[in-house]
Structures are given as structure tokens and as C-alpha cells.
A and B are shown apart, each in its own frame.
Chain A
Amino acid sequence: MKTCSTLNRVTFFIALISIHIHGNTQESNAVAPSQMVQGGVGLWQTPTARMMREGSQTVNYTDNNEYRFWSSSLQLFPWMEATVRYTDVRTQLYSNVASFSGDQTLKDKGIDVKFRLLEEDYYLPQVAMGFRDFGGTGFFESEFVSLSKRVGPLDVHLGFGWGYLGAGGNIRNPLCEVADSYCERPGGFSGSGGKIEFGHFFKGPASIFGGIEYQTPIDKLRVKLEYEGNDYVNDRAGELEQNSPWNLGLVYEWNDFDFNLNYQRGNTVGFGVTYKLNLHTAKQVKFDKPPRSIEGVTPAADMKSLNRKRLYRDLYLQGSFLINYSHQLDDEMTIYGYQFAYRDNDEAIERVGRILASELPESIKTYKIVNNAALLPMVETEIDADAFKSAARYEALEPDLTASYQRQEPSAETLANYKANNTSGLFHSVNSFWIQTFGGPESFYLYQGGAILSGGYAFNQNFSISGGVKATLIENFDKFNFTTDRQDSSLPRVRTQVREYVTRSKVTLETAFLHWSDRIAPNLFAQAYGGYLETMFGGVGTELFYSPVDSNLSFGIDLNYVQQRSYENDFDFFDYKAFTGHASVYWRPDFLPDTQIVVSAGQFLAKDKGVNIDFAKRFDSGIIVGAYAAITNVSAEEYGEGSFTKGFYISIPFDLFVLKPAKGRGKIPWVPIGRDGGQMLQKPVNLIDLNQYRSPFYD
């Protein structure tokens, strides 16, 4: 139920509107794919075999008299489309208990997925198979197979559906001929909902459906005609009158929007709007100077005459590199510091390298740029100065700047030479946060926003004390009519008292802890921490993390002994204590480009044992979309609503929202149901974050 985002810039949402979108341009007289009423590519009520371009995402709103749908569809791979949806049933109340949900109408959420089985070619249609609302309690649970064939400006579709799509039963279910068990569709759902109901699939009434889409001679206008296989007798909104199985409508494209108007069931007018973007090609206009030219520059004659002040200032102002320490030999210069703006490593190296090349004397033949994280050297980029300068001056017809340097684990010599400056002292930061809940009984949208003020004191390069205070500035959580649900729970309430924690006070102590971290061997990092570790738990813990530079495989292990914090004040603890920790493997398989799979096995906060699997896909813009699920030894009944922990998230680089290059990200999770099983400790510092320097996946 709970979704939250912690964003480093308050401007995030304001800047959202300024993203510059490319793509989704229509080519030829082909009918561009458009969204159906419930989200996902299709006609009006029925899906087709068509897919959007990889990386395309839509945000859709449709009004269908009895129903309103909010949905978002994403083309995750060329062969896979995923859709999430909230449904507002206008004819039904959320509950019959006014004190619980007032006069709010019924809401439901759903997830659809569609896979392309066969691509269209000269003779064969495109074929796809999909599963709609397969989460167990779905109003629209369906399975289908669709075929699509284009003939010039016409796209012709034929489909075969079970469940909601086939409810009219206009043909006999062919699988019923094979086995009697396929003749009836079981009702209800197993466990506590939230599980994929494989036992329902392809059972009960079945229908054929289909239709055509036509790209009119008016460039932006498309017509969609559909014959559907649903009879609306057993609809969640009540039985709906259907005068005709034919649905007809228009789709008009305007910039990044599709507007549609349709006439359904022979008696209902519907309309909708779709906003389209592409996660591969989304980018932002930048106001930034080009990398420094080194044509005709006069570098220092020798190291003695080097203007270091100017060099360091230019590295900061023009290269966005905050230098911490430098070391020089007769023919080599090493700079240690932090790249704070350019998320593309090659661009960062080019900008910093050009500044070094224009200032350092010709006698320096090797530049080493060492990127630090929390004062620890993470990765070393060794540049062959002569080759770099030659390429930067375009002294070859096909110059390749990237061939002049290589990234590597900092050498023993590089580490030994590092004498970090400013290792002790105060530090502070301000982050914004945004917590939101969709589909709650009190109101469809509940939110809380404000600032997290963090600060601390570093004793040395490795050891610090720090903390964060959360200050709520805007919220409507005062609408909560309960703070702890009344569901029976056999598990310790490690997360389901979240409402207590977030509503106790406008100002709360989020974290306060001692922290130590270091590199303890080549490619091996360690940390230990103790104190108030997160909103709901305090304790002690340690983590080891092994990550070779630019490797597609990393390993981590963490162990924690924690006690539940009180929600009644900032400092006390409840009695509940637990060991929790996981061994994790981080893997980027070659066969799924730009994808990271994290498998974490161990004991969770409620002392349940199992595995958490996280799957993330990165798009060219840097936007990452991920999903995770925790499968533990807690039964679906013990777990409660949702049956097991699962969630989704989208991580967006700030660089896409600001006019200057920027690092950093905002992560927006969407957790359909959050219960107590399969819950991991939110460690205050994660060593996997170091991997963003050493083997970047995020940036």
C-alpha cells in the first residue's frame, strides 16, 4: 500500500514538465499502436498482438461511464509489455462502512503482461499471448492469444480470450474438449490474494474477438473498430447493458498525446487521453559549455611553474571534479577526488582530461584520475597523455579518445600515495522526501512530503557519526482513520505499523548511527554501523562487498542484530529483536542487455527465511525500472493480504530534469501491498552504492 520517494531536489516534479521527449514519431501509413481502455496496446476493450517500440511508456486515463481507469504501460523489451492499472468503479462503494471509507467509490489495482510469440512477416501475422489482471483478486482477469496483420493502412486483428475477455462465450472453449477441468472457471482466489492464479488460466467460457484499425489519410487520425467477446453480465460494476458487441472510436494524436473518443456496447460514450514518452530517448536540453579545446594552448613549462590554483579551480568549475589530493612523479600526475556532475564516465574523463592536458607540462606522460566515494578511492582511470592529446586535437582522421585511457582497480601504489585531505569535520545535507499511497480507504491518494536534514561528524577517512531528522511540511495523512490494521497477524508487526511511525510527529529522528567503512583487500570493501539505522529499527550490523571494476558480477553479505524502535517517541525501543542478514549476488547477464538481477538469500526482519529477487532494466536515458519479490517460508495465510512481498520501482536520473549536468537519482517505489513477511532492513549505507563508481549500472 505504501509508496514513497526520497528525492534530492525539490524541483523534481516542477521540472518533470520540461523533459524533452523524442521518439514515437509515426512512419509511413502504418497504424501506430494505441492504447485500449484498460491500458496496453489494443483496440477498445480487447488487446492486439502489437507492441510499442522498446522503451515506450504511456500514462493513460480513460472514462467509460461505470469505470474510470488510470494506467501506465511500458514496453520493457521488444517482446514484452507490462501494464499497471488502478480502476475506479463508479457504481460501487469502497466498503459499506462509512466510518472506514466514507463515500469513496470502489478501487482496484491490476497488472497485465503481454509477450510477443511471433513477429509478423510476409506471410505470418504477429502473435502475442497475454495475461490481464492476473494478481488473483482482479476484476478483469483474462488470458488471451492475439494475431495481428497489417495490410497497408489497415491493421487487422483476431483474438481468442478466456476470463473477462471471453465471458460472453461466443465459442466453445477448445480446451474443454481436451479436459473437463477446462470447462468451468474457478471463482475466488487462493491464499490472501496477490498470487498468480495459474489454476484459473484458460478455463471457462471463451470468445473470439477482433477488429481493425485504420490510419486515415489525415496524418494524426486513426479509426478503431472492434468486436468483443465479453457480455458484461458478471461485471464488478454490476450487470451492464450491452446493445451491441461492436465498439467504435477515433484516436487523434497531438504531440506526445493521444486523445480518444469511443462508443461502446451500443449505448456508452467513452473518452481517454494517453501521454507517451520513450525511456530510451528521453533527454533534457543542457546549457553547458563544450569540453575545453586544447588547440593552441600553452601548458606549464614544468611542474614548478604549474598554476595549481587555476588547475584545481578549473577542474571544479569546468570539469565538475572536486579534488581532494594529488600526487606527482617525474612523468605522472595522479588526482584524487569526486566527480559531482557528469554521469557519463567518458564525458567526465574527456572534460577533466582536457583540462589536465592544457595545464600540465609535456613532461607528464600519464594522468591518473581516481574517483573517490566517501574519501575511499574507488576506481582509477589511467590516461596516456600523448595519445589523449593527439585525439583531443583531432590529429587523426578517426580519433578515438576512449582508446587513450583505461579504467582499473586503483593500484597498490595509487592507494599508498593517497593522503586524504579534510578527513575530519562536520558535514550536512538536505534532501526532500515524498511518501504516497494510492487506493487507501480514506482517500485514493494520500501523501506526505518534507525534508530530511542530515548531518554528522567525520573523525577520519573511515569513521563517522551521522544522523537524519525528518520534517514533514505538507501531508494529508490526517485523513487516516486507523493507524494499525485489524487483520490478524501471526508474524511480528515489523512493517505494518508504518502509519504509527509516519504520523506521530511532524519532526522525527530517522537515523543516528556510528559508521565505519574501508577497503580491506583488492576489490573488497567492508562497513560496520550501529545506532538508529532506519525509521523502524536500530541495532548493529556489518557488510562485506566484493566487486571487481567493470565486472558484471558482484557479491555482498550483511549481518545485523536489530531491535524494533518505538513509534511513541524518537529514542525508545520495543521488545522485538531479530537477527537479519543476506548473502547477495548482483548479476548482469549478457543475454539480457542493460539488466541487473539481484538475488538475496537469508533471514528477514520477521525472522522468516527465504530469498528476495530483484530485477532491474536500464534504458538509454538512464531511467531504470525494476521489480522485486520476496519468497520466504511464511505461508500465504500467515502473510496476509497479497500473499507475499512484491513491489516495483522506477529510478530517474535528476540529469533529466535540470538544465545543467547533474548526478543523483530519485527512486519512486510502488508496493501494491506491504505486509510483514519478506521485509529487509533498510541499511543506512549500502555498499552496493559503491558499485556505481566501479561497475556502473545506474550511472
Chain B
Amino acid sequence: MRVFLFICVLGWSSFSAASVKITINDTVFDYEGNPKLSEVLEPIALERSWYWQSSALFRVGDSTIDKERSFIIEELLALTSSLDDVKVIRQLVASLESWNLARRLAIPIDFDLARVQPKFNPKFEDGEYLLLLKERVETVSIIGLVNESTVIEYKGNVAAMEYLSDIKATDLSDKSLIYIVQGNGEVKKSGVAYWNNSYDHVMAGSQIYIPFTESQFSKKMDILNMKIAKLATNRIIK
């Protein structure tokens, strides 16, 4: 009798369990089938004036990002033996450890696009997701080789280098480069010094990563910088 009851409970559970679970901001939605993106967005798309460029979808429970973070931290700690400013590196490690991460899926989240073009309206596979929809924020986050990670006011349509006056970079940071981690997940290297400045635009809600000094004779730091910037695209920033 007990065995029978147990089987019944199991059967009921599997029948009632949704195959797709999506947390949209703080509300949990369960779906019995595999919804398309437009179906997921439809109930809340017009609720507020969402800034679609910064909307992001994360796969919850994917451990690859945590592993990637661990590898990067290992690399950073290894640098403490060769670089002078150990304190800055430890600060960066602490910052990385504090990041709330999940694997961000490389698809645009845009209700209009999803309704118009099938390729921007994919189907959710079974699993658990976090969908962050945001209104446009008027801030930019500064991360990386700075004395303190900060959030500063968004300056509108100006070049990336205009943000540097608000940043106290460290001796280990590159004087000529920053990495712009745009709100839509794109990463772009931008020249900011007297000899290489360029007019790269920063989206509202983006992160600016202040990198390690790069060298034309070794790609080691370029690769590490890009890894950190890409890791930052997976941050869950509510």
C-alpha cells in the first residue's frame, strides 16, 4: 500500500511539474509546454516601458559560469607573484567573487522583434530561467582595476573616455584602453588615451571594465582582460 502511494505521489508530481520555469524579475512563471519567447513576454511586455536593449535571459543552474569564474580567479591569484600591487588584484578577486552570475543566453530579448521574425522568437527548452526586464537606468558601472567598483551617472551621448575623469584607476591598469560591456551583452575594446581615443558610445546601464595593461608583445593580458569582460556579461544586476 505504501509503495503504491509513493508511486502515485511520484506520478502526480511529474504530471504537474512544469517543464519550463521562468522567473521574470521577481515573479515565477511555470509553463507546462515549451513556450516561445513572444508568449513569455506577452503578458508583461506592455506593462512598463522596458529598455529592451538591456533585457537579459539567464539559464539558471548552469555551472559553467561558476567554473569560468574560478579559472579566472586562479589566474588572477597567480599574478600576485609577478605583479607588485597585490592589494588591487585581491580587490578584483573579491569583486568577482561577489558577482551574482548565471549563464546569459546570447539572444536579443525584444518583444517586437520576437513577434516579427521567427529567428528572434525561439522556443524555450526544458529548464529554469531568469528573465531580467529593466526600464532604462541612468547609471554606468565601473569595474576592474579601480580602487573601488562604483556606479556613476550615465552621461548620455558622449564618448567612453568622458567617464574616465570619474574613475580612480590603479597603477596596474592600462592607460590607453577600457572595455565597454554593453547592456546588450556586447563587449568592445575602446581607446581612451591621447594617442588612440575613439568615439565609442556607451549604452545606459553598461559596465566599463578597467583592464590590466596590455602589451603588443604578449597576448596574455589581452586574453585575461577579455575573459573578465565576458564574465561580466553574465552578471545578474537587478
Q: Which of A22-30, A103-111, A330-338 contacts B (4 or more CB under 8 A)?
A: A22-30
Which B114-140 residues have C-beta < 8 A from chain A?
A: 118-119, 121-125
Contacts of B196 on A, CB cut-off 8 Å? 30, 120, 150
Interface residues on A, range: 20 to 34
CA distance A122 to B196 in the complex (A): 9
Given A397-B105, A398-B106, A28:B197 Cβ within 8 A: yes
- The CA-CA distance from A293 to B118 in the complex, in Å, is 9
Candidate in B124, B195, B199 with the most chain A CB atoms within 10 angstroms: B195
Whether B118 contacts A295 by the Cβ 8 Å rule is yes
A397 with B125: CB separation less than 8 A: yes
* A590 touches B (CB below 8 Å): no
Closest CB in chain B relative to A562 CB, distance in Å: 51
Instruction: Tell me which residues across on chain A come within 8 A of B124, comparing CB atoms.
Output: 397
Q: How far is the CA of A120 from the CA of B214 in the complex (A)?
A: 12
Chain B residues closer than 8 Å to A118, beta-carbon distance: 216
Judge if A199 is at the interface, Cβ distance under 8 Å.
no
Whether B197 lies near A152 (C-beta < 8 A) is yes
Q: Report if A151-B194 is in contact (Cβ < 8 Å); known contacts: A28-B199, A122-B175.
A: yes
Q: In the complex, are the beta carbons of A394 and B57 less than 8 A apart?
A: no
Judged by a CB distance under 8 angstroms, whether B107 is at the interface is yes
Residues of A1-41 contacting chain B, CB below 8 A? 27-30
Q: Which of B88-119 contact A (CB under 8 A)?
A: 105-107, 118-119
Q: Which residue of B lies closest to A149 (CB)?
A: B195
Contact A27 B199 (CB under 8 A): yes
Instruction: Write the nearest CB–CB distance from B123 to chain A, whole angstroms.
Output: 5
Residue of B nearest to A150 (CB): B195
Q: How far is the CB of A171 from chain B (nearest CB, A)?
A: 27
B198 touches A394 (CB 8 A): no
What is the distance, in angstroms, from B177's C-beta to the closest C-beta of chain A?
A: 10
- For residue A393, which residue of chain B has the nearest CB? B123
Residues of chain A with a CB closer than 8 A to B119's CB: 394
> Which residues in chain A, 143-172, are within 8 Å of chain B measured between CB atoms?
149-152
Question: Given the known A-B contacts A394-B123, A397-B57, are A28 and B107 also in contact in the complex, defined by CB atoms under 8 Å?
Answer: no
Closest to A394 in B: B122
A395 at the interface (CB under 8 A from B): yes
Tell me, yes or no, whether A121 is within 8 Å of chain B by CB.
yes
Q: Let me know if B118 and A394 touch, CB within 8 A.
A: yes
Convert B158-184 into 0s and 1s, putting 1 for each residue whose CB lies closer than 8 angstroms to a CB of A.
Answer: 010000000000000001100000000
Chain B contact residues, majority secondary structure: loop
Distance (whole angstroms) from the CB of B114 to the closest CB of chain A: 10
Provide the residues of chain B in CB contact with A548, threshold 8 Å.
none
Shortest Cβ gap from B117 to chain A (Å): 10
The distance in angstroms between the C-alpha atoms of A28 and B107, with both chains bound, is: 30
Give the chain B neighbours of A27 by CB distance below 8 A.
Answer: 198-199
**In the complex, A270 has a CB within 8 A of chain B:** no
Decide yes or no whether B19 CB sits under 8 A from chain A: no
B118 engages A29 (CB within 8 Å): no
- Nearest CB on B from A53, distance (A): 13
Distance (whole angstroms) from the CB of B66 to the closest CB of chain A: 19
CB distance from A398 to the nearest CB of B (A): 6
Residues of B within 8 A of A28 (CB): 159, 191, 197-199
Does B193 count as interface, using CB distance less than 8 angstroms?
yes
* Closest CB in chain A relative to B106 CB, distance in Å: 6
Decide if B197 touches A122 in the complex (CB within 8 Å).
no
What residues on A are CB-neighbors of B159 within 8 Å?
A: 28
B34 interface hit (Cβ, 8 Å): yes
Check: A119 CB closer than 8 A to any chain B CB: yes
- Return chain B residues, CB-CB under 8 Å to A397: 37, 57, 59, 105, 107, 122-125
Return chain A residues, CB-CB under 8 Å to B57: 397
Question: Contacts A150-B196, A395-B34, A398-B105 known; A121 to B122 CB distance under 8 Å?
Answer: no
20 more A-B residue pairs beyond the given contacts A122-B195, A394-B118, with a C-beta to C-beta distance below 8 A: A27-B199, A28-B197, A29-B197, A119-B216, A120-B195, A121-B176, A150-B194, A150-B195, A394-B122, A395-B34, A395-B122, A395-B125, A397-B37, A397-B57, A397-B122, A397-B124, A397-B125, A398-B105, A398-B106, A398-B122
Q: Can you sample 23 A-B contacts with CB below 8 Å?
A: A27-B199, A30-B197, A118-B216, A120-B195, A120-B196, A121-B216, A122-B175, A149-B195, A151-B195, A152-B197, A393-B123, A394-B118, A394-B119, A394-B123, A395-B123, A396-B122, A397-B57, A397-B107, A397-B122, A397-B124, A398-B106, A398-B122, A399-B122
